[in-house]
Structure 1
Amino acid sequence: YLIQITSLETVGNLYLDNNSNGIIDTDEDITLNQDIGVASIPNLKFKPLADETGINYDNFNFKVHDGTVYSEGDYTMTINVNNIPTDISLSSSSIDENEVTGSIVGTFTTIDENIGDTFTYTFATGDGMNDADNARFFIDGYTLKTSVAFNYEIKSSYNIYIQTNDGNGGTFKEAFIISVTDANDFPTDIALSTTSVSENQPLGSTVGVFSSTDEDDGDTHTYSLVTGNGTNDLDNASFSISGNDLISIINLDYETKPFYQINIQTNDGNGGTYVKAFVIVVININDNAPVLEDNTFAIDENRSNGTS
């Protein structure tokens, strides 16, 4: 089997690259009606004019010989000349932590010498490291978006591997590192070192000490009594706060009131707050101290033991 070139290209050069060096050597130019054996067809190449590209750039005709006769009609081979993409850029490679799923990271663009190419972007398989976090994102058109909410304190950077495709057989791959920017994490809980106090303590006694649960190390929290639902803040006025300390400002008497309800807010100083209700239990103690009566007893001297 072989093919016969029945019409030549009009621009550029059709040649047989017999030594696979990509250069048109002597006697490698294709001539009209030249027969090319099946084994040599993989070496049939085309070189466009310098810096020229295009779809339907050129064409040539050929017949097929089956070992006995040539085909009656000609076949046409259309030549498309495409420059492959050479780079991918991402408009932003960082995102704040705690952003909702589906948040935009950035927009992809491709560098390609072919004007007018339309590019599609996909995640590509890499070396196991540069594609380790592909599943944490998705691509919407040209836009990279998040598939999860990121937490800086858990992981601060993610590796993805992206391929661009120009739609004409040209592809290019590039690895990106997406950085997570540390943002303020709101407090998530308030603790009070003790929620019970003995009755009849002096005014200004410390009931307990507040502390906050917060992912941001180093935040300084301030505490305040805040309005609640009318029940969980019912006894706010019976206390004050000094620094981290909860202070009683009335006489706490078990017989008058055995528990008090307060509503507390912590503020991390960076816009993050958290509110929690507490019940302060008053511990009953004995209010009546024993009284000893002052009685005088007389007994004669020299009485024997056991005498009453």
Structure 2
Amino acid sequence: MGFSLIAMDGGSPPRSGNTQIRIVVLDVNDNSPVFLQELYVAHILENAPEGSIILSVVATDLDEGPNGDISYQFSQAVSESDSAFLIDPVSGEIKLTKPLDFETAENHELNVQATDGGGLSAICKVLVEVVDVNDNAPELVVSTFSSLLPENALPGTVVALFAVRDRDSGANGKISCALEDQLSFSLRPAYKNYYELVTVSELDREETAQYILSVTAADAGSPPLTTTQTFTVDISDMNDNAPVFNQTSYTILWTMSK
């Protein structure tokens, strides 16, 4: 900003002189930083490697010089998740410092503070939503199991009761169970996530004295993960067979000597 100052005397003719006056307005730190967004939301896969960039926060300041220079840092976080994240103090870029785990925490909430050179600051929130990946195989937990079964057990006899579970979510945690080719046994849902391994036909120890049954639990992830549990069932003998002669009749030739 500038203007001219003219001085004039009272002579005849009058004489005058002029000078240029320039006013320099010095900046004071009267503007706080302002974030472009009050809330930033990021989605990141739980198997994202260390050093992955999540997002960048941006704040502006109308002041000039040092009063307008902004630095970024984490303020007190809502959760104890700061150690998994690092923010660049100049660019506002947030990176991972270690892998995340969806099963431990599905989201992380961070508070980011922008501070100018004069000490004024502003805060925004960053919500990091962790996206589940299929990194957990199904678990098969046996509640009861009868390893010895009489051969006269009725069809529908329960051999084993077990539960299946998967720590993943959505399709990654949806489980189906299958029994490998077997005519004498089958699987049937019990309740909630429980299954029963049952007999479906009469058993015959004299024909088969031991069964090795394999149950496979598979999730619906891509690719699917599986777990196989083996049940060894011995068949105990019952007295269900009468003695049988090799022949229905026998002929004995007897010669009497004198």
Give TM class, smaller chain.
0.5 to 0.7
1:240 maps to 2:186: yes
2:85 maps to 137
User: Structure 1, residues 249-297: CA drift from partner, whole Å, max 9, x if none?
Assistant: 4655556342414141244x78795422222222342322698xxxxxx
TM-score by length of 1: 0.48
Residue 163 (structure 2) aligned to one of 177, 191, 211: 211
**SS across alignment from 2:121:** strand
Q: Percent identity at matched positions?
A: 15
Contact 2:150 2:238 in 1 (8 A): no
Q: 1:101 to 1:222 in 2, by over 3 A?
A: closer
Shift of 1:145: 2.6
What's the secondary structure of 1:237's corresponding residue?
A: coil
Any gaps of 5 or more consecutive residues in structure 1?
Answer: 1-8, 14-46, 49-80, 227-234, 292-308
Paired residue type of 2:187: I
1:145 and 1:248, CA in 2 relative to 1: closer, same or farther beyond 3 A? farther
Q: CA offset at residue 164 of structure 1?
A: 5.3
The residue that corresponds to 1:12 in the other structure is 24
2:35 aligned partner? 88
- CA shift digits 1:208-228 (9 cap, x unpaired): 2331233479999553327xx
Partner of 1:159: 110
Change (3 A) 1:10 1:170: farther
Distance across 2 between alignment mates of 1:212 and 1:272: 19
Runs of 4+ in 1 over 6 A off after TM superposition: 114-120, 168-171, 216-220, 269-272
Offset at residue 240 of structure 1 (A): 2.9
- Write the distance in 2 (CA, Å) between the matches of 1:284 and 1:182: 48
Cα distance in 2 between the residues matched to 1:259 and 1:119: 76
Residue 283 of structure 1 aligns to which amino acid in structure 2? Answer: D
Distance, in Å, in 1 between the alignment partners of 2:103 and 2:42 is 11
Match of 1:174 in 2: 123
Residue 131 of structure 1 contacts residue 161 of structure 1 at CA under 8 Å; is this kept in 2? no
Deviation readout 1:52-104 (Å, 9 max, x if unpaired): xxxxxxxxxxxxxxxxxxxxxxxxxxxxx888662224673343673534444
Over 3 Å counting, the alpha-carbon distance change for 1:218 and 1:198 in structure 2 is farther
* C-alpha displacement of 1:106: 2.3
* TM-score (normalised: structure 2): 0.55
CA distance in structure 2 between the aligned counterparts of 1:88 and 1:208, rounded to whole angstroms:
60
Alignment of 1:189-228 (within 5 A): 189-195=139-145, 196-200=147-151, 201-215=153-167, 222-225=175-178
How many residues are aligned here? Answer: 205
Higher RCO (C-alpha under 8 Å, 6+ residues apart):
2
Q: Is the 8 A contact 1:260 1:280 kept in 2?
A: yes
Q: Aligned to 2:35, what secondary structure does the other structure show?
A: strand
- 1:283 is aligned to 234
Stretches of structure 2 that go unaligned for 5 or more consecutive residues are: 1-20, 190-194, 243-258
| CA 123–211 in structure 1, closer or farther in 2 if over 3 Å, else same | same
Which secondary structure does the structure 1 equivalent of 2:83 belong to? helix
CA pair 287-247 structure 1, distance change in 2 beyond 3 A: same
1:100 partnered with 2:41: no
Within 5 A, what are the aligned runs for 1:244-259? Answer: 244-249=195-200, 252-253=203-204, 256-259=208-211
Contact residue 158 and residue 198 of structure 2 kept, 8 A: yes
Query: How much does 1:130 deviate?
Result: 5.6
- 1:110 alignment counterpart: 59
SS at match of 1:287: coil
Conserved? CA contact 1:87–1:111, under 8 Å: yes
